[in-house]
Amino acid sequence: MFRFDADKPVHFCDGYTRRDFLHAGTLGLLGFGLNHFLSLKAEGAVPEDNDLNVIQLFLVGGPSQLDTWDMKPEAPLEIRGPYKPIKTNVPGIEISEIFPRMAQHADKYALVRSLYHTAAGVHDIGHQIMQTGRLFQGGVVSPHFGCVLGYKKGGRGAVPPHVLLPRPIGATGGGLPHGQDAGFLGKTFDPFVLNADPSDPGFKVPDLLPPEHLAAIRTDRRRDWRKLVEKSIQELESVPDARLYDSTFHQAYGLMTSARAREAFELSKEPDKVRDSYGRNRFGQSCLLARRLIEAGVRYVTVNMFETVFDEITWDIHGSRPFSPISCYRDLVGPMFDHAFSSLLDDLGQRGMLQKTLVIATGEFGRTPKVNPAGGRDHWPGCWTAIFAGGGIRGGQVVGASDAIGGFPKDRPVSPPEVAATIYHLMGLELETFLPAQLGRIVPLVDGNASPVRELLA
């Protein structure tokens, strides 16, 4: 009944309405509640609310502020690097020539050029800080922003509240957690992780679809037979975890059978023109997938631009192997981001989703102002640039400024807890609250009583 491999055209030609009605009927017979399913279908499976959604683009490796969005053309050659600034569509704001398309969208985003953190310049640590708002210390593993949102607000319709694309960040040298799960909130609130490459020709969501050899009729039969053998142990329903176990099956079947939810994962539904505009690569297609997921009701999508910094061309331009040279910004990484980010803003704008979707792009730190002997730049958490666009953000502006060499904030320094406060504030969460941590502690939602960066807010 449900063959819907994402890489192939949809197998049924009568649209999904009748099929899903049939399915809703089956589920009803199985005790899953027909009325609920019908009502979900009737409204397109996504309950309406006014909550802001978030797409966080994690620029793994750490982009160099000086070669991207905080150019210092007046600085000496060994500081300013090889690229030239270009004008944007906002007078007075210039960015690197490696982002020609982005330059035409500057009215939509704000650049924070004075972001910094004071912990060690280790990738993993920066990942923690920029996705949870704090460094992991004393056994407290903090939850990702999106997991907190899921914990606070739950899911919408058949889709999970927080999805991570395409895979979690892997090894980046520190061997520490990367801050991409629910931490002390418990695995119940972990993001749903795609674990696949959306740009693969054979792309499909792991475990979202039955394996090839399993005909749809068998999936139905299994469900029926499971119900059959469960008859004798219905008293287990008095155990809360047993009810949760059943409800996870319910959610899984919901995800598998909700046309809206499963179509969100079907990139093949997108016109080639759109797919091309995002870039036919892992990051570009992940950004496109992120837009589809938000459309289907997901609240928070995290996109890792890269999965590691080893043996892969990334933002991590130490200049020598196994890392990347500066030139890769112009040849590969820059254009990849330029296309995907610009298309995402375009696309969200055209669909009227931009004002309801916050888009954030940042790495885990900046890079050393001075070019190193290998012709690259090393880790530098002292100052870098983050991009905020979309819902709740006043675009077309620069917030904060770095010093003459991009080494430290000069005006309006912005700390990671302030970024966290900004995100949580825009999500509509009360900042002065606590989260229940393990080891018998409670942890404030944001550290140090941080306030949102008011200048960013529309």
d(CA 48, CA 297): 9
Nearer to another protein, 106 or 194 (CB): 194
From the CB of 245, what's the least distance to another protein, in Å?
4
Task: Specify whether the CB–CB gap between 107 and 396 falls below 8 A.
Answer: yes
Q: How many CB atoms lie within 10 A of CB 260?
A: 20
Residue with tokens 């006043």: 394
β-strands 401-402, 409-411: how paired? antiparallel
Q: Which is nearer to another protein, 104 or 251 (CB)?
A: 251
Q: Which is nearer to another protein, 166 or 369 (CB)?
A: 166
Least separation in angstroms between CB 397 and another protein: 28
Rounded to a whole number of angstroms, the minimum distance from the CB of residue 356 to another protein is 22
Structure tokens at 94: 């210039």
* Residue 21 exposed, middle or buried by CB count within 10 Å (0-12, 13-18, 19+): middle
From residue 385, give the alpha-carbon distance in Å to each of 23, 238, 398, 446.
Answer: 49, 53, 10, 21
Between 74 and 432, name the residue whose CB sits nearer to another protein: 432
Q: How far is the CB of 448 from another protein (least distance, A)?
A: 6
Q: Which of residues 367-406 bind another protein (CB under 8 A)?
A: none
- Asked if 177 is part of the footprint of another protein (rule: CB under 8 A), the reply reads yes
Tokens of 344: 């995402």
Q: Considering the complex, what minimum distance in angstroms separates the CB of residue 358 from another protein? A: 22
Residue 411 CB, nearest approach to another protein (Å): 23
What phi and psi values does residue 243 have, to the nearest 5 degrees? Answer: -65, -40
Residue labelled with tokens 């309801």: 356
> Of 215-244, which residues contact another protein (CB under 8 A)?
218-219, 221-222, 225-226, 228-233, 235-236, 238-244
Instruction: Determine if 8 is a binding residue for another protein (CB under 8 A).
Output: no
**Shortest reach from residue 6's CB to another protein, in Å:** 13
* Amino acid code (one letter) for 410: K
Could you say which residues in the range 48-107 bind another protein, by CB under 8 A?
Answer: none
- The answer to whether 4 and 258 have CB atoms below 8 angstroms apart is no
Site for another protein in 184-213 (CB under 8 A): 185-190, 192-193, 206-211, 213
Site string for another protein, 402-441 (x = CB under 8 A): ------------------------------x-x-xxxxxx
Residue 399 beta carbon to another protein: minimum distance, rounded to whole angstroms: 24
Closer of 25 and 206 to another protein (Cβ): 206
Q: Residue 400's CB: how many other CB atoms inside 10 A?
A: 23
Sign of CA dihedral 184, 186, 191, 194: positive
Nearer to another protein, 157 or 390 (CB): 157
Choose between 12 and 434: whose C-beta lies nearer to another protein: 434
Task: State the number of binding residues for another protein (CB under 8 A).
Answer: 73
**Cβ at position 107, least distance to another protein in Å:** 36
Residue 236 or 404: which CB sits closer to another protein? 236
Q: In the window 246-285, what residues touch another protein (CB under 8 A)?
A: 246-253, 255-256
Cβ nearer to another protein, comparing 7 with 78: 7
CA angle 314, 303, 398 (to 5 degrees): 80
- Quickly tell me which residue has 């895979």 as its tokens: 167
Among 13, 42, 77, 442, indicate the residue that binds another protein (CB under 8 A).
442
| Cα-Cα-Cα-Cα dihedral sign, residues 240, 246, 247, 249 | positive
Q: Count of CB atoms within 10 A of residue 282's CB?
A: 24
Alpha helices in 196-351 (DSSP H): 216-230, 240-257, 259-264, 272-278, 282-295, 328, 334-350
Q: How far is the CB of 396 from another protein (least distance, A)?
A: 33
- Helix or strand or coil: residue 289? helix
Q: How far is the CB of 445 from another protein (least distance, A)?
A: 10
Candidates 45-53, 64-72, 180-188, 342-350 — which segment interacts with another protein by CB under 8 A? 180-188
List of residues 6+ apart from 324 with CB closer than 8 A:
61, 312, 313, 314, 315, 316, 317, 318, 333, 376
Amino acid at site 287: C
**Residue with smaller CB distance to another protein, 85 or 186:** 186
Binding to another protein (CB under 8 A) within 134-163 occurs at 138-139, 141, 150-151, 154-155, 160-161
Instruction: Tell me how far, at minimum, the Cβ of 175 lies from another protein, in Å.
Output: 3
Q: Which is nearer to another protein, 89 or 451 (CB)?
A: 451
Nearest Cα to Cα of residue 344 among 303, 297, 299: 303
Name which of residues 311 to 330 contact another protein (CB under 8 A). none
Q: Are 146 and 299 in contact (CB under 8 A)?
A: yes
Identity (one letter) of the amino acid at 375? Answer: G
Nearer residue to another protein within complex by CB, 22 or 239: 239
Under a CB-based contact definition with an 8 Å cutoff, are residues 56 and 146 in contact? yes
Among 449, 451, 454, 458, binds another protein (CB under 8 A): 449
Backbone angles phi, psi at 86, to 5 degrees: -130, 160
